[in-house]
Amino acid sequence: MHEIILCKLGEVVLKGLNRHSFESKLMSNIRRRTARYGRFLIYSRQSTVYVEPRDENCDLAGAYGVCRQVFGVIAVARAMPCEKTPEAIFDNARTYLGEALSGAKSFKVETRRADKTFPMGSIQLSQWVGGALHDAFPHLAVDVHHPELTVHIEVREDAAYVHAPSEPAAGGLPVGMGGRAVSLLSGGIDSPVASWMIAKRGVQLEMIHFASPPYTSQPAREKVIELARELVPWTGRLNVHIIPFTEIQEEIRRACPEDHFTLIMRRFMMRLADRLAQELHCRALVTGECLGQVASQTMDALRVTGDVTELPVLRPLIGTDKEEIVRLARHIGTFETSILPYEDCCTVFTPRHPQTHPRVEEVREMEQTLDVEGLCQRAMDGRESILLK
């Protein structure tokens, strides 16, 4: 018999009547993500998704790793099936969890019995296997309240299973269930983290990036694609839409007051993201903005940049500190790439004294001299989309 993977569902189980669609979305995400590690049978029972190898060629460790990164799963465990007798179950626990049992100081056994025809009750089976394990590992104390190790037994129709201790997984909600949004991805630390946080809440993202060649380089552009690629194990497939931004920036520099460069540039970013959202049926924008972090992220500045779109702008980092963001970036796996020293289009033409308390009416007025529509249209026409799987 083969070892299998158990994925414990998180909040999904709280969703009442929608639960079925949440579960099937989660299962299809797990199916797609594990496919590269072999052929697996995937099904759900009692708040758990089972990932079962169909043949010898499956890479279970690989599949286990990806299951930990699928949003909607709060914990994962490996389990070993065996024959449905108390002796076989004990023997399975003793060998399969031998190392964990030897290393622990206290333990308990917990049984779930889906097969009601099994001759022993759950408590009775737990006690029987617990007693036998205690004899086999005499150093172990039984502690039903705070055991260091819980040995899980499940008795099902086809077999009995012994679970290894579970490990925490990604949590959140299955991607795709929360609709779609356009996420503004720069090469910085913040926007990949913001994207990850919104994907974690079940949102399918379309990534948009603004590049200003020759002011921004090819390596800077590749860095952003790499960041998106590092998000894929969490989010599933991602599109990165790269928008040429040079003409817009040069026009702003030519026609607008220097202290408003960054703000007007950010307004163009929001306009273009809004257009992409309309085109791709996305219902929100996502940014890595954080209150007070830079001049363009004061409340007044956010009012000005948010002015050009009617879509909700999701800013999951708004109340976080840099330290917290860095910790998350490391956990996600984007930090090392983010700190590579390439320029972003935000860092070209930066004003010496940026306006921190801009007024919407004034900024609208300044833009009167620009051909906003033409600039946006040409930028959208010049875009390039890259699909990452």
Can you give the binding site for ligand ATP, defined by CB under 6 A?
A: 184-186, 188-191, 208-210, 269, 287-289, 293-294, 296, 344-346
Rounded to a whole number of angstroms, the minimum distance from the CB of residue 371 to ligand ATP is 21
Q: Which is nearer to ligand ATP, 75 or 313 (CB)?
A: 313
313-314 sheet: strands from edge to edge:
313-314, 285-286, 180-184, 204-211, 238-244, 384-388
204 binds, among ligand ATP, Mg ion, none (CB under 5 to 8 A by kind): none
289 binds, among Mg ion, ligand ATP, none (CB under 5 to 8 A by kind): ligand ATP
From 20-28, 182-190, 265-273, 348-356, span contacting Mg ion (CB under 5 A): 182-190
Phi/psi of residue 55, nearest 5 degrees: -150, -175
185 binds, among Mg ion, ligand ATP, none (CB under 5 to 8 A by kind): ligand ATP
Task: Please tell me whether residue 188 binds Mg ion under the rule CB under 5 A.
Answer: yes
Rounded to a whole number of angstroms, the minimum distance from the CB of residue 179 to ligand ATP is 19
First to last CA, the chain: 32
- Three-point CA angle 283, 285, 291, nearest 5°: 140
Phi/psi of residue 73, nearest 5 degrees: -100, 125
Rounded to a whole number of angstroms, the minimum distance from the CB of residue 323 to Mg ion is 17
Q: Which is nearer to Mg ion, 126 or 296 (CB)?
A: 296
SS3 letters for 129-175? HHHHHHHHCCCCEECCCCCCEEEEEEECCCCEEEECCCEECCCCECC
From 44-52, 63-71, 214-222, 336-344, span contacting Mg ion (CB under 5 A): 336-344
Q: Which is nearer to Mg ion, 188 or 316 (CB)?
A: 188
Quick one: DSSP state of residue 55? S
Rounded to a whole number of angstroms, the minimum distance from the CB of residue 190 to Mg ion is 7
Q: Which is nearer to Mg ion, 188 or 354 (CB)?
A: 188
Structure tokens at 220: 């800077």
Q: Do the Cβ atoms of 93 and 152 come closer than 8 Å? A: no
Q: b/e map of 298-321 (b: 16 or more CB within 10 Å)?
A: beebbebbbebbebebbbbbbebe
d(Cα 27, Cα 8) in Å, to the nearest integer? 12
Task: Please tell me whether residue 338 binds Mg ion under the rule CB under 5 A.
Answer: no
287 binds, among Mg ion, ligand ATP, none (CB under 5 to 8 A by kind): ligand ATP
Structure tokens at 190: 């913040």
313 binds, among Mg ion, ligand ATP, none (CB under 5 to 8 A by kind): none
Reported as type and span, the H/E element at residue 9 is strand 4-9
Strands 204-211 and 238-244, sheet pairing: parallel
Q: Which is nearer to ligand ATP, 111 or 334 (CB)?
A: 334
Q: Do the Cβ atoms of 235 and 210 come closer than 8 Å? A: no
166 binds, among ligand ATP, Mg ion, none (CB under 5 to 8 A by kind): none
Binder among 183, 186, 195, 216 for Mg ion (CB under 5 A) = 186
Of all residues in the shown chain, the one whose CB is closest to ligand ATP is 188
191 binds, among ligand ATP, Mg ion, none (CB under 5 to 8 A by kind): ligand ATP
Q: Which is nearer to ligand ATP, 48 or 186 (CB)?
A: 186
Q: Is the peptide bond between 214 and the residue preceding it cis, with omega within 30 degrees of 0?
A: yes
d(Cα 137, Cα 102) in Å, to the nearest integer? 7
Q: Which residue ranges make up the site for Mg ion (CB under 5 A)?
A: 186, 188, 344, 346
